[in-house]
Structure 1
């Protein structure tokens, strides 16, 4: 049975590894890989996990982290959603998204916000099925890809 729980410091390495695997399996299906990009992104995931693990929810089965989502600023913004490629398509992302939305509502917010690469069709579909609507689309700088990419900003009413 999948359990969604707050991350702990002991989860940091797994958070970084799952995030990196999920990012790489998805992004390189529609973006070219530049030299040194993976090492740069691995360091970024490790740093994020070390700094923000306390604001991360993990989905796990028997101690194995299948995916995670984060609200790194603790506000109404979902900054990250990553599911290990081995477990994608099994409802893990939906469980995490529902848990993050519930946390946002419990914190007193009436809307939830997130952003996604516009070409990440699977993620955008998941978000839309869960009540998010695209409210803005534009070219924005991506630190991880080191270039401008098409991004969508999405909003869901929680009331």
Structure 2
């Protein structure tokens, strides 16, 4: 059984590791891997986890973090949603997304926002199944890829 809970400081390493693995398993299916990219992104996930774990919800199965989502400023924007590659497709992303939307609604927001790479069709399908609609598509700077990419921005009505 998967439990969704607030992250603690003890989860920092797992948050960074799951994020790095999920990012790499997905992005390299449609983007080239440049030298040093994995190390750069791994450090970015570690820095994020250390600074922002209090804004993270983790999905835990049998005592192991298998996914996580974040609102890095506790606003209406879901900044991150990552699931361990070996357990993707088992409903963990949906459970995290629903929990994130509930937290956003509880904070008083009427809508939730999320964005992703326009070529990340799996994530887009997941977000659409969970009530998000594409409201914008266009170029945006990617810090992790260090270049401009095509992104989609999505919105879900809450309530």
Which stretch shifts more, 90-99 or 58-67? 58-67
Partner of 2:47: 47
Matched residues in 1 for 2:48 and 2:3: separation? 22
**2:149 alignment partner, SS class:** strand
Task: Note if 1:31 corresponds to 2:31.
Answer: yes
Tell me which stretches of 4 or more aligned residues in structure 1 moved more than 6 Å: none
* Superposition CA RMSD, Å: 0.5
Report the TM-score when normalising by structure 1: 0.99
Q: How does 1:117-132 map to 2 (within 5 A)?
A: 117-132=117-132
- Shift of the alpha carbon at 1:51? 0.5
Q: How does 1:38-117 map to 2 (within 5 A)?
A: 38-117=38-117
- Shift of the alpha carbon at 1:62? 1.7
Structure 1 stretches of 5 or more lacking a match?
Answer: none
1:82-102 Cα shifts (integer Å, max 9, x gaps): 000011000000000000000
Task: Note if 1:156 corresponds to 2:156.
Answer: yes
Matched residues in 2 for 1:147 and 1:33: separation? 13
1:64-115 Cα shifts (integer Å, max 9, x gaps): 0110000000000000000000110000000000000000000000000011
Matched residues in 2 for 1:114 and 1:152: separation? 9
Matched residues in 2 for 1:129 and 1:59: separation? 19
**2:131 alignment partner, SS class:** coil
Matched residues in 1 for 2:87 and 2:6: separation? 19
Matched residues in 1 for 2:141 and 2:85: separation? 25
